[in-house]
A and B are shown apart, each in its own frame.
Chain A
Amino acid sequence: MGFTIAEKILARAAGRDAVRAGDEILAKPDFVIAYDFPGYTDVIFKQMKDEFGIETVAEPERFALFIDHMVPAVTAQEEDLHQNTRDWGAANGVPVYERLGIGHHVASELGYAVPGGFAVHFDGHISQLGTFGMLAIGVRRHLLEAFVRDDIRIKVPQTTRVNLSGTLPPGVMARDVFHNIVRTLGPSACRFHVLEIGGEALRHISLDGRQTINCLAMFTGAITSIMNPDEIALDYAGERARIALDPVCSDEDADYAAVHDIDIGSLEPVVVVPPSPANTQDLADHLGKDVQVGYLGSCASGRLEDLAIAAEVLKGRKIKPGFQLHVVPTSQAIMQQAAEKGILSTLIAAGAFVTSSTCDYCFGRLGVMTEDQRAVSTGTLNVRGRMGSPDSEIYLVNAAAVAASAIEGRIADPRNYL
């Protein structure tokens, strides 16, 4: 019986010849990544010192800190948190990246997505580095272990494999693919597993789309998501990689907990209806619902492909007067590319409010809704209160549907505009 990519990566990280799902091992992360956030990084920095007497980390190059939430700061307290992070980074020789965009994505731009590598973060959306054949796991407060010790204790996860076949129809995006996986498998099918996504359809899904799919793995119950790196992924990650590792792939006869085949060739646009990320339904059943707010951005969506299709929908059109369309590119590099391609000017001409990259629109710190307002969003989540009042609603859709809905002020089918 062969090995999964997750087993191979963890075997190397544990310094062993082989590990199997179920083994409890000590594995050394190649990278320890975090964004600064109250209750996480500030507590970790304090506990390291006060509880364990550790003044500085031994291998600063293994660590990366991002300032992407609370950007720009609106209170002195927030700026204090950021300054504390900068100070800790400077004292430790650990890079602190700020104002470059959302860290989960910027990490890949900066070469932290290394095929065959193992990374940890407290936040599960780091799973998107799986796009490049990296095992990247969000461990919540267990992240302290990675700051205090070289290695962390982990139970080698089982893997659920999903094979995608077919080619996406126009107006249907990677976002729909992911939510359709949740719809098909259920929100707990991959509990505590690695979700491994493959199949011939991946060749036709861009890296942007793959990052979208991997970013949201947690809503299947998976602890992360990964794809065996193909030439496209290796080309991107290889030239940026900060460390030299041999890429690995699952063996043909790898031992999977389950294998699912999903044809994406006949997919329709979907919507994830509040208040649960498990609640995927056909967009067609919700057309015409009034919406006042649109959010195009986040670590899940907001990449060039998303911005480009929104511009295609909005080109030569205007968003409905009074509608609030917030466009927040996932990174500054993406924003620059979109500017160079004229995408931003198309969006601005249509009436979009375009801002520099930040996480803040996704979790209700900026652009908040009041009660009885409803948003179409490419953010990560649709739980109550995520974007403001607990009595507002978030309908998750693809980027094209956000743009189409902005024109009508109602949930709209993007295929009418493409």
Chain B
Amino acid sequence: MALANLRGRIAYIFEDIDFDVDQIIGVKNIKIRDVDELARLAMKAYDPQFSETVRPGDLLVGNHNFGYGHPHYPPMIAMRKLGISGVIAESFSPGYWRGEIAMGFPQIPCPGILDFVERWDEVEVIWQDNLIRNHTQNTERSFEPLPYADLLMLGEGGIVGYLHARNRLEGKAEAAHE
């Protein structure tokens, strides 16, 4: 399983504990399905220039219990559209975690991350060593290893790829695709 390391800048740090990700696009926009529209709306309440400054590969950082509440998918659909490659947080709320891992979107639990990075630092997530390297500050920090199934799901791009991989690894035949 070759899960590519992530490398990018810390595009934003959400300092709120129990952060409700729906705030990223605003509750009034939560039913919008157009991805370009979502990307345009994202982060307006936090940093109006966000969509112009973010670059593909950049990462987000969150505080404890990131994703608490009743998380919907559109906020992180918008973030992926903008090129965000993953979220590193002190800890995650399970519902949010499951939802995003199933979408193949890397989530990295790293106690101490808030003290370890500043906005726009360049960091690298090294899966094999469970390590985050801060290239700007030349420091390293361990993150909590992910369960096997979650790593497989990220490596295969989400729940569908994961299930194909499970079938393959366990020698289970799949009927031909239509």
- Residues on A facing B (Cβ under 8 Å): 24, 39, 47, 49-54, 124, 138-142, 144-145, 148-149, 153-155, 187-188, 191-192, 218, 221-223, 275-278, 381, 383-386, 390
Contacts and interface: CB of A to CB of B under 8 A. Distances in A.
A40 B147 CA distance: 24
Nearest to B26: A390
Given A278-B68, A386-B70, A155 B95 contact: no
15 contacts: A54-B175, A124-B95, A140-B98, A142-B102, A145-B166, A153-B149, A154-B149, A155-B147, A191-B65, A221-B93, A276-B20, A381-B69, A383-B27, A386-B70, A390-B26
B18 A187 contact: yes
A243 B177 CA distance: 35
B3 interface: no
B178 A49 contact: yes
Nearest to A50: B178
Nearest to B153: A142
Nearest to A148: B163
Given A124-B95, A222-B94, A385-B28, 7 more contacts: A141-B99, A153-B166, A188-B65, A188-B68, A221-B65, A276-B20, A383-B69
A316 B163 CA distance: 59
B160 interface: yes
Contacts of A155: 147, 149
Which 9 A/B pairs are nearest by Cβ-Cβ distance? A53-B175, A188-B65, A141-B102, A385-B27, A153-B149, A390-B27, A384-B27, A390-B28, A140-B98
A276 B163 contact: no
Given A144-B163, A276-B20, A187 B68 contact: yes
B147 to A, nearest CB: 5
Interface in B135-172: 147-149, 159-160, 162-164, 166-167, 172
B70 A144 contact: no
A139 B98 contact: yes
Contacts of B93: 188, 191, 221
B35 to A, nearest CB: 15
Contacts of A52: 163-164, 167, 174-175
B94 A221 contact: yes
Interface in B54-90: 64-65, 68-70, 73
A188 B28 CA distance: 26
B91 interface: yes
B164 A276 contact: no
Contacts of A218: 94-95
Interface of B: 18, 20, 22, 26-28, 30, 64-65, 68-70, 73, 91-95, 98-99, 102-103, 147-149, 159-160, 162-164, 166-167, 172, 174-178
Given A187-B18, A187-B65, A191-B93, A383 B148 contact: no
Given A50-B177, A51-B177, A124-B95, A149 B28 contact: no
B70 A381 contact: yes
Contacts of A142: 98, 102, 159
Contact of A47 (B22, B27, B160, B175): B160
Contacts of B92: 191
A192 B137 CA distance: 32
A51 B94 contact: no
A142 B27 CA distance: 25
A275 B23 CA distance: 11
Given A138-B95, A221-B93, A383-B22, A188 B64 contact: yes
A192 B91 CA distance: 11
A154 B98 CA distance: 11
A141 B159 contact: yes
A53 B65 contact: no
A221 B17 CA distance: 13
A3 B20 CA distance: 35
Contact of A53 (B28, B30, B148, B174): B174
A383 B160 CA distance: 31
A341 B73 CA distance: 43
Contacts of B18: 187-188, 276, 278
Contacts of A49: 178
A191 B98 CA distance: 12
A53 B176 contact: yes
A374 to B, nearest CB: 16
Contacts of A192: 94
Among B18, B69, B167, chain A packs the most CB atoms within 10 A around the CB of B69
Given A140-B98, A141-B99, A191-B91, A383 B20 contact: yes
A141 B94 contact: no
Contacts of B22: 383-384
A138 B64 CA distance: 22
A390 B177 CA distance: 43
